[in-house]
Structure 1
């Protein structure tokens, strides 16, 4: 029988999970916590889940693997070297298991983590597939500084050798299925994205395979590592404990009076509307994080961990979508939710707004003799590549603890595309600063001659 692979995309985190099967029996690889997506595919194809496998103890999300194995009775493959608080099928390099007509072989591929495993799945007919987790990605490899920053060089060398081991042991026609590499902060180097790849394709483009000098590879990869979300520090702990099932039922409704109380007490009340609507009008004291691809990444990065969060959305569907994203990073239950527009949830004097401008507006302001203070909230690596001379710089992920560093007066806030600047503007407005939100692409600043790059 041949091997089929169903892909489950979690684009909000830049990750993929997989269901490998022979038409009857399935192997689920690196599932997310919202298991209804997995169960729907299993049911649609009439598949029995025989094995759930983890390539590593994940850094960027809370796994659904433990719960899926419990619910289905499947074997749960986790590296024998991982220190976990639950029973599992402990596997090491070279160990094999069967699922229907499929054979699964574990291959030690340290680098992203010390105990990282890739899994080669072999069918009786057709080429094998290798599920590479955070080892070999499309065009590059997973980042190597998450275990211990002091060990980054050591882990990068291990990652280089792991990718080369896979390329040395598998033929060109073996399909490659990484978990990371589609926008995840667990990626590094020139990750290529795309829908599919093979070992043969990776031989011609992967950073770890086209660079024959290990020292050069290590130097280049380490130089390209950027900041990653602070919530990562909490993910491994949860995954080693065996995460509990999720509860996606509707949060407790919050009426306008209670919403007002929560805002006054300084709780995190998060407005899910798009950034244009939020700038135009919002309830003072809320934080604007637009529901979209990057919602959970930046909310999880910014919120003091463990702080209750109340969601404000225009519909129950918006709240449900936000909930689904949040459970994936371990924010299990919102403290509540309020539905409606600002005018329906607050009195007129509680409604705030701030100007929304462009880089062209900045040029016009300067031509009028004004000298706006510009606040750049991009990452350090982005700013190192080019900046607006005279601008202040506080990366978004450092803004809350650095509010005292924001210059006095009105701040014109920008990032690379407008998304992070919208969050920064809302945080500044919440803290009582006078803010102008630059909702524009940094390329426009370049074209106007405002930047050094």
Structure 2
């Protein structure tokens, strides 16, 4: 018998996998915080003998090198990947014994497209395929995006994605479980993945790579590509160089004077509390990235790379969780941190800043008044499906550098559900403007009486 345990990295929309038999196991595409993998292996009572990468990742820092060091496992990396560390190069067709006693073998299949060297791995039991780890190749209802390596290669890689998906469908039985790394909210997915699990047979019936001709597939794939998070440009080089071990020791504590000094120095002070608490009261100039949301994705996307960040959390647990998540995208050591509430983060005599939260119904009541500016911070692809007439469009990942483009007046900022509007509202608030965060679903805008147009 074999097992496959999923190592979920929900904040980034990724998954790693621990697979094996009764004695030994392989870890595929591990997260950077490898203690989670070691815990999973200990729970199963197995020894990790192999660590495997499907490709050099562009969206997170891998824990593969460190996991191989800690366990003594062979580190399997596609032969075509250019890396600066010792590893076992993997070629198309290579087979690796995972657990000989259980008859488990891992067979490599070259599946270029997400990257030129991308490789999938088929888990075989007694020579029969039971699962395939597809990384950023065949995903659930879609494929990995082909535009993260080099713009001049994008169309070629899109065509290779199509061919790779078809190779998997042709060579594997319909009941083979498809276990991708990306596609659960990751921006590495070409489109939003549909569902939590799938098989080769299900993908044959629904995946565009397996139901359309190559030209229409490529045209639709390229037309649907959205903006790439800015921090992605730092992930590939970090992974190719070999990431350093992660350091999760607590940051240096910061008092009110140090928080004020760091803000005065132009550093980022990030409040991890939920958006309701932040709007009700916060340190003036601090920014709100909720720990419960896609913290790593949006903070790494918006912050000037390498700028010191101080974290403010409501509890030590919230701080520890956030610190762990940020290491996954290369934000390794917060400059400082504090826990508690604004009362403990402000100097004597200072008052907390605040701003209003509202709904689209509230906006409809104010929309016609002078001095009201409506700011849409969604991505262009979202806005194409409908937007409030007269709204100013500045996607959230560009807002920091375009605040001077927001017209004068009271700024009502909205997104799809309120989470990004809260981040944007904190940016506008920190710049000294009057802001209202629309904490509501965009589906409610038209029902509230606002005029919604589509491009």
TM-score (norm 2): 0.96
Cα distance in 1, alignment partners of residues 312 and 191 from structure 2: 37
- Map of 1:258-297 to 2, 5 A cutoff? 258-297=258-297
The answer to whether the 8 A contact 1:3-1:125 is kept is no
Equivalent residue for 1:167?
169
Q: CA deviation at 1:120?
A: 0.9
- SS of residue paired to 2:350: helix
1:128 to 108, 127, 130: 130
Q: Tell me, what secondary structure is at the counterpart of 1:349?
A: coil
Question: Contact (CA 8 Å) 2:364, 2:449: kept in 1 or not?
Answer: no
What RMSD in Å do the two structures reach over aligned CA positions?
1.3
Would the aligned equivalents of 1:3 and 1:126 in 2 still touch at CA under 8 Å?
Answer: no
Structure 1: runs of 5 or more not aligned = none
Partner residue in 2 for 1:408: 408
Contact 1:421 1:437 in 2 (8 A): yes
Counterpart for residue 152 of structure 1: 154
Distance in 2 separating the partners of 1:270 and 1:6: 34
Partner SS for 2:60: coil
Aligned pair in 2 of structure 1 residues 130, 310: CA closer, same or farther (>3 Å)? same
1:66-215 alignment to 2 at 5 Å? 66-101=65-100, 102-124=104-126, 127-194=129-196, 196-211=197-212, 213-215=213-215
The yes-or-no answer on 1:59 pairing with 2:64 is: no
Q: Distance in 1 between matches of 2:191 and 2:205?
A: 15
Give the deviation of 1:123 after TM superposition.
1.5
Question: In the TM superposition, what is the alpha-carbon distance from 1:89 to its structure 2 partner?
Answer: 0.3
Cα distance in 1, alignment partners of residues 219 and 87 from structure 2? 37
Q: Take 1:150 and 1:408, find their aligned partners in 2: how far apart are those partners? A: 41
Residue equivalent to 1:378: 378
1:19-78 Cα offsets, whole Å, 9 max, x none, are 110121101000001111111111011101011000000011000011001110101000
Q: Does 1:354 align with 2:355?
A: yes
User: Following superposition, which runs of at least 4 residues in structure 1 exceed 4 angstroms of deviation?
Assistant: none
SS, match of residue 273 in structure 2: coil
Q: 2:298 & 2:192 partners in 1: Cα distance? A: 22
CA deviations on 1:396-443 (whole Å, 9 max, x unpaired) are 000111111111121111111111110111011111111111111111
2:62 touches 2:239 (CA, 8 Å); kept in 1?
Answer: yes
Distance in 2, matches of 1:361 and 1:280, equals 18
Give the TM-score of the pair, scaled to structure 1.
0.97
Aligned length: 449
The answer to whether the 8 Å contact 1:354/1:436 transfers is: yes
Task: Using the TM superposition, give the Cα deviation of residue 149 of structure 1 relative to its aligned residue in structure 2, in angstroms.
Answer: 2.4
Residue 329 of structure 1 aligns with which residue?
329
Structure 2 distance, partners of 1:97, 1:7, is: 20
Structure 2: gaps spanning 5 or more residues: none
1:228-239 counterparts in 2 under 5 A?
Answer: 228-239=228-239
